[in-house]
Chains A and B, each alone.
Chain A
Amino acid sequence: MSATAATGPLEGLAPRAESPSRLAWRRLRRDRAALVSGCFLLFLLFAVLPGAPLLERAVGHGPNDFFPFAVDVSLRPVGPWSWVPDTSMVPGIDETTFEQEAPPPGTGKTLLVLGADGTLGRDELLRLLYGGRVSLLVAIGATLLALVIGTTLGTVAAFFGGWVDGLISRFTDLVMAFPVLLLAIVLGSTVSMKLDDITFGGALNKGVLSLMLLIGFFTWFYPARIVRSLILSLRGREFVEAAEMIGSSDAKIMRTHLFPHVIPALAVWATLAVATNIMLEAGITFLGVGIKLPTTSWGTMLAATWGTVLSPLPYNPATFSPWLTIIPSATIFVTVLALTLFGEGLREAFDPRGVR
């Protein structure tokens, strides 16, 4: 029985062909964990991009404004949700009681939602949001850079084969075995000196570009491998042979027949890579090579209570404020978790059989 014979009574019963992307979208919508993570990521983008300046407007101070009154005599910053005198004046200290003198009469109060960020008394929440901008920018920028380099080299390796492929693959294999972080900090502390001042007319914060390039440069191996192996396995398939037979050019085969198969894998990789890049940014910055103060990022905030490698802050139980470690820690954790769950959801949506 041919397919045309089925029109008539069976019309509408035959399954409608759906495009793979629509199918994936339908599966993704059913995955609760991925959906919640996706919503959180949208919320995060909103909070960081328009949210940070909006909040700045609402509370009436910026992320780099000092509130010396938010720090007590023993240099302990105030905790979450405190109203502090709205002045950058350094409080005097009473000689007899050793307590802070009252601020000048007529000073208003301002709200620090998550408290002060350390001895300088800056707004922790605003710094978290503006720091998120920097961290996400570095992570996403580095991922895009790695995607561009990796896809190009992976395609080249798979298409030309022979010694080109051998060179690229061998290089990839060996560099992947090396401690990327060690090489990154060695490279970072030499090269970033020259790149730190490039900010594209203030569009990027100082140090953002060099960190982006650094992370991107050390992570393109993964997309290169993914693209190479996928294209190698697809090249021998019938539909590619058929396309060759009807005389399609290499470029056209790449564009219309091979790339659509590569995109899902790259999308999954990119989502997970943004997560690992956020961690790398925090790590490299923590080690003193990445983002430099006063620009804030989640890495600099993580180091707030700890100091730097060269001069760690001495520990004093009386003035120590654990939330300064816990707030950025929790933010990084939740963001990375959301990205990971979303990435796994994407993987499952694109290829439900390949996942356990």
Chain B
Amino acid sequence: MTTLGYVVRRLAASVVMLFLLITLTFALYQAIPANPAGFLVDMQKAKPAAIAEAEEALGLHKPLYEQYGLYLWRLAHGDLGIAYQNSLLTYQGDRIGKAVGPAVVRAAMVTGALVLGGAVLALLISIPLGAIAASRPRSWLDRGILAFSLIGICTHPLVVALLLQQFPGRQWGVAPPSGYCPFFGTAGEPAKLDYFSLSQDLGCAGPRAWTTHLILPWITFALFFLAIYTRLVRVRMLEVMEEPFIRTAAAKGASRTRIVRHHALRNAMGPVLTLAAMDVGLALGIALYIESVYRLPGLGLTTLSALNGDVGFDLPMILGIVLVVGIVIIVLNFAIDLIVLWMDPRAAQAGTRRSAVGRIA
């Protein structure tokens, strides 16, 4: 199979997958007993005419396939719709409210800040730790690092989040225990936490406040991935250290440090970084725990609020989030595929990927 064919096939599979996801979410929504008209009028008190008007404004009077078709049509034009929650009916019978697109993008920025910062922290620590462990296999240092990473893997991220929030956050006052401050903006003016906010509006802003409020979430996120990646880097390093070119380097007189740094680590890093990008799905799951404990208005907390609103399930918001998350993951996976292909063209034939490991998120 040619490389081009491989790329086209993967891209097609991704688009089909995204389409299936949207359809599935849409279909699932029909299984919920609640009537979305409840978002606009009080279902207990409103007259049937008012309920019918609300249903018409939401487009519910049309048959299901037409609603679905209309959604896809607007989606194709980049319109994600208006969230059900906190929307109003005007006298003209139109519905006004928060646009899903900007709200999801804003939430994605918060999650992005959490995941990127945490991932950088995790990689910065786990790569040296793994390299140190692998440079002296079966020594006490190696065993200690392995034991630490085992403890990290077996600890629920929620537990880490709760304990960090409680002790350094609340009791010792090292860092703010919850809340989020936007990076841009000025302190004092209420932060634009779009959509309905489960997170408290702290009225703070600026790079400094942003950093301090993200310290504990970053550490929580990093501790989990630190444990996984230290093990991974160690195993990869042990594999690379057995390669002939390491022996060549040793034979020509390179020092141990130089071998580890310049010869082994460089070759071990490629696959590790690929895996890091592939773990984005897992990372978003862990971020969901962290966002709900620390009350960060990211994708996870927005999903939870859209699911658990007073009236029910906010379909446009959920569809928007599933779509954005899906696109991010598909684009990343696609990028990884291209990188792997670029490094090793044989991958187009084998299509080999990472072996299965358990996931907790």
A contacts, CB < 8 Å to B: 170, 173-174, 176-183, 185-187, 189-191, 193-194, 219, 221-222, 225-226, 269, 272-273, 275-276, 279-280, 282-283, 286-289, 302, 305-306, 309-310, 312, 315, 317, 320, 322, 325-326, 329, 332-333, 336-337, 340-341, 356
Q: Can you offer 5 A-B residue contacts whose CB atoms are under 8 A?
A: A174-B14, A181-B289, A276-B358, A283-B156, A340-B154
Contact B281 A179, beta carbon cutoff 8 Å: yes
Q: B residues 272-293 with Cβ under 8 Å of A?
A: 278, 280-282, 284-285, 288-289, 292-293
Contact B171 A325, beta carbon cutoff 8 Å: no
Contact A336 B356, beta carbon cutoff 8 Å: no
A269 to B359, CA, bound (A): 11
B250 interface hit (Cβ, 8 Å) = no
CB distance from A207 to the nearest CB of B (A): 15
Interface 1/0 per residue, B169-183 and A, CB below 8 Å: 011000001000000
Contact B358 A272, beta carbon cutoff 8 Å: yes
Contact A283 B360, beta carbon cutoff 8 Å: yes
B17 interface hit (Cβ, 8 Å) = yes
Which of B24-32, B44-52, B88-96, B255-263 is near enough to bind chain A? B24-32
- The 10 residue pairs across chains A and B that have the minimum distance between CB atoms: A181-B285, A276-B358, A179-B284, A222-B356, A329-B159, A279-B360, A337-B154, A181-B361, A336-B154, A174-B17
Identify B28's interface contact among A180, A191, A280, A332, CB under 8 A.
A191
Question: Which residues of chain A come closer than 8 Å to B40, judged between CB atoms?
Answer: none
Identify A280's interface contact among B32, B171, B355, B360, CB under 8 A.
B360
Contact B281 A178, beta carbon cutoff 8 Å: yes
Question: Which residues of chain B come closer than 8 Å to A329, judged between CB atoms?
Answer: 156, 159, 162-163
B contacts, CB < 8 Å to A: 13-14, 17, 21, 25, 28-29, 31-33, 150-151, 153-156, 158-159, 162-163, 166, 170-171, 177, 198, 235, 238, 278, 280-282, 284-285, 288-289, 292-293, 295, 299-301, 303-305, 307-308, 313, 318, 321-322, 325-326, 329-330, 333, 353, 355-361
Q: Is the interface of A mostly helix, strand, loop or mixed?
A: helix
Residue of A nearest to B352 (CB): A229
CB distance from A267 to the nearest CB of B (A): 14
A113 to B9, CA, bound (A): 61
Question: Which residues of chain A come closer than 8 Å to B288, judged between CB atoms?
Answer: 179, 181-182, 185, 287
Among A176, A282, A287, the one with the most B-chain Cβ atoms within 10 Å of its Cβ is: A287
Contact A182 B153, beta carbon cutoff 8 Å: no
Contact B303 A333, beta carbon cutoff 8 Å: no
CB distance from B245 to the nearest CB of A (A): 20
CB distance from B353 to the nearest CB of A (A): 7
Identify B198's interface contact among A276, A310, A322, A332, CB under 8 A.
A310
Contact B313 A333, beta carbon cutoff 8 Å: no
Contact A186 B156, beta carbon cutoff 8 Å: no
Residue of B nearest to A188 (CB): B307
A332 to B238, CA, bound (A): 32
CB distance from A223 to the nearest CB of B (A): 8
Known pairs A302-B162, A306-B162; A273 contacts B358 (CB<8 A): yes
Known: A287-B288, A309-B198, A333-B156. 7 other contacts (CB 8 A): A174-B17, A179-B285, A182-B284, A182-B325, A283-B156, A283-B158, A287-B289
Contact A180 B198, beta carbon cutoff 8 Å: no
Contact B308 A189, beta carbon cutoff 8 Å: yes
A227 to B41, CA, bound (A): 53
Contact B358 A275, beta carbon cutoff 8 Å: yes
CB distance from B326 to the nearest CB of A (A): 7
A302 to B318, CA, bound (A): 27
Contact A177 B281, beta carbon cutoff 8 Å: yes
A222 to B285, CA, bound (A): 18
Contact A286 B289, beta carbon cutoff 8 Å: yes
Contact B313 A279, beta carbon cutoff 8 Å: no
Known pairs A283-B156, A283-B360, A336-B154; A177 contacts B31 (CB<8 A): no
CB distance from B196 to the nearest CB of A (A): 11
A302 to B156, CA, bound (A): 11
Contact A325 B166, beta carbon cutoff 8 Å: yes
Question: Which residues of chain A come closer than 8 Å to B305, judged between CB atoms?
Answer: 309-310
CB distance from A69 to the nearest CB of B (A): 27
A287 to B306, CA, bound (A): 13
CB distance from A103 to the nearest CB of B (A): 32
Contact A333 B358, beta carbon cutoff 8 Å: no
Contact A190 B28, beta carbon cutoff 8 Å: yes
Known pairs A189-B307, A194-B31; A178 contacts B289 (CB<8 A): no
Question: Which residues of chain B come closer than 8 Å to A190, judged between CB atoms?
Answer: 28-29, 31-32, 313
Question: Which residues of chain A come closer than 8 Å to B358, judged between CB atoms?
Answer: 222, 269, 272-273, 275-276
Question: Which residues of chain B come closer than 8 Å to A193, judged between CB atoms?
Answer: 32-33
Contact A180 B156, beta carbon cutoff 8 Å: no
